[in-house]
Amino acid sequence: MKCSIIRDLLPLYCDNLTSADSNEEIENHLRNCTECTEIYENMSREEINTTEQDKNIKPLKKVKKQFLIRLICGILGTAVILFGVFIFVFRGVVPISSDKISWQFDEGSMETFYGETNNNGKYIEKGRYTSKFINMTFTGDCSCIRKEYDADYDYNNDGSVTVHHHITIYPVIKLPFDDKGKNPNQFVWGLSTYDENETLTIHCRDKDITFYVKDLIEESGITLE
Question: Do 111 and 196 have their domain in common?
Answer: yes
Residue type for position 155: Y
Q: Of 91, 109, 135, which residue constitutes the final position of a domain?
A: 91
| Pairing verdict, β 144-155 and 101-117 | unpaired
Q: Give the C-alpha separation, 143 to 135, whole Å.
A: 21
> Residue 144: in which H helix or E strand, if any?
strand 144-155
The more confidently predicted of residues 45 and 87 is 45
Residues 108 and 182 in one domain: yes
Q: Looking at the structure, tell me whether residues 70 and 103 fall in a common domain.
A: no
Mean pLDDT for the chain overall: 78
Task: Name the most confidently modeled range: 34-43, 103-112, 196-205.
Answer: 196-205
Range of the domain at 207: 98-220
Q: Which residue has the higher pLDDT, 74 or 161?
A: 161
Does 225 fall in a domain? no
Top pLDDT among 170 and 175 is at: 170
Establish if 162 belongs to a structural domain. yes
Name the residue with higher pLDDT: 153 or 28: 153
pTM above 0.85, yes or no: no
Residue 164 included in any domain: yes
The verdict on 61 and 108 lying in the same domain is no
Which strand ranges, in their side-by-side order, compose the sheet holding 186-191? 101-117, 123-140, 186-191
Give me the helices (H) in the chain, please: 3-14, 20-32, 34-86, 213-220
* Residues in CB range of 120: below 8 A, 6 or more apart: none
Distances (CA, A) of 91 to 77, 114, 174, 175, 208: 20, 42, 9, 10, 21
Same-domain check for residues 9 and 51: yes
Identify whether residues 122 and 200 lie together within a single domain.
yes
Last residue of a domain, one of 39, 64, 91: 91
Secondary-structure breakdown of the chain: helix, strand, coil percentages, each rounded to the nearest 5: 40, 35, 25
| 132 closest CA partner among 23, 223, 53 | 223
Q: What is the mean pLDDT of residues 2-27?
A: 76
Asked whether residue 29 falls in the same domain as residue 114, the answer is: no
Residues 75 and 111 in one domain: no
pLDDT value at 59 more than 80: no
In the listed set 58, 91, 124, which residue is the last one of a domain according to the structure? 91
How many CA atoms within 13 Å lie on the side-chain side of 32? 9
